[in-house]
Amino acid sequence: MPLVDIVLLAVLQALTEFLPISSSAHLYLYGEWFGAGYQGLIFDLGLHLGTLAAVLLYFRADWRRLILAALDWRPGRPLNDDQRLAVGLALATIPGGLAALALGDDGATALRNYLVIGCTQIVFGSLLWWAFWRASGASQGERSLSIGAAVLIGCAQALALVPGVSRSGVTMTAGLLLGLERTAAARFSFLLAVPITAAAGLHGVVELLRGDSGTEHTSFWLGASISAVAGYACIHFFLTMIRRIGMLPFLLYRLALGGFLLALVFLGH
């Protein structure tokens, strides 16, 4: 794969993974519009591996606290806030994992088309904007989230297997509707990305090592490295700016993109 495509796809992955506009949709559209066709699911998983590294590094203090809290638990003790959050994150990963196994690589690839992406961009972008507006007075932090609420957010995360939904967007929507404060919903969304993205990235590495994916090792690991650096910067930007810019810019972008894709469908392109 040409170096310019690797760099641009890696930066695109970093931006669209953490901004609520859907990375899977944009990676597909880049290949269709600017590349030599879709670059393949395995390369995309390599880019997700990079953004996983960004989340782990950015939230390293949070993960260290959660791991220590989990190791400190003993049978018979009630869960403290960190232990409850750790259990919630673990259980919330299960719905998405089961959905990914059921869908498979072929099913995930088949959903990458203009009609699906156009509809999901509009519908789920509108839901996120409404949930964000509705949560203007919320004050609940992610550490006070119940395990049941965390699992519900995990069920919403499973919907992100459909391109255009946006994993960060749909999990923030669910978190906001369940009473989380806006920044807390974003933080929980980013933390929840780790387990399922790790599983997806591991799957990508296994397929890469098998040699059947058609993806070059150099392209895979270079893309992962670039998306890790760009992803770290994007997390910081989004968490800093979410209170200032709100969700309206993302809604307008998603409506425009979704409308454009649907217009292409109806025009027969």
The pLDDT tens digits for 109-128 are 788 899 999 999 999 999 99
| All structural domains of the chain with their residue ranges | 3-266
Report which residue type is found at 239: L
CB distance 27 to 227 below 8 Å: no
Per-range mean pLDDT, top range of 7-11, 108-112, 139-143, 202-206:
7-11
Question: For residue 41, what are its two tokens?
Answer: 């699911």
pLDDT at residue 135 tops 90: no
pLDDT at residue 211 tops 80: no
The pLDDT score that the predictor gives to residue 176 is: 94
Burial class (CB in 10 A: 0-12, 13-18, 19+), 37: exposed
The pLDDT score that the predictor gives to residue 200 is: 81
Q: If we measure between CA atoms, which residue out of 237, 225, 184 comes closest to residue 62?
A: 184
pLDDT at residue 257 tops 70: yes
pLDDT at residue 57 tops 70: yes
The mean of the pLDDT values for the chain is: 89
CB distance 12 to 230 below 8 Å: no
pLDDT at residue 35 tops 70: no
Per-range mean pLDDT, top range of 41-45, 73-77, 174-178:
174-178
Query: What percent of the chain is modeled with pLDDT above 90?
Result: 49
pLDDT at residue 162 tops 90: yes
Q: Span 162-184, mean pLDDT?
A: 93
Q: Span 127-145, mean pLDDT?
A: 87
| Cα–Cα distance for residue pair 87/93, rounded to 1 Å | 10
pLDDT in tens, 178-192: 999 988 999 999 999
The pLDDT score that the predictor gives to residue 107 is: 80
* H helices, E strands: number in the chain: 11, 0
CB distance 79 to 43 below 8 Å: no
pLDDT at residue 213 tops 70: no
The pLDDT score that the predictor gives to residue 36 is: 65
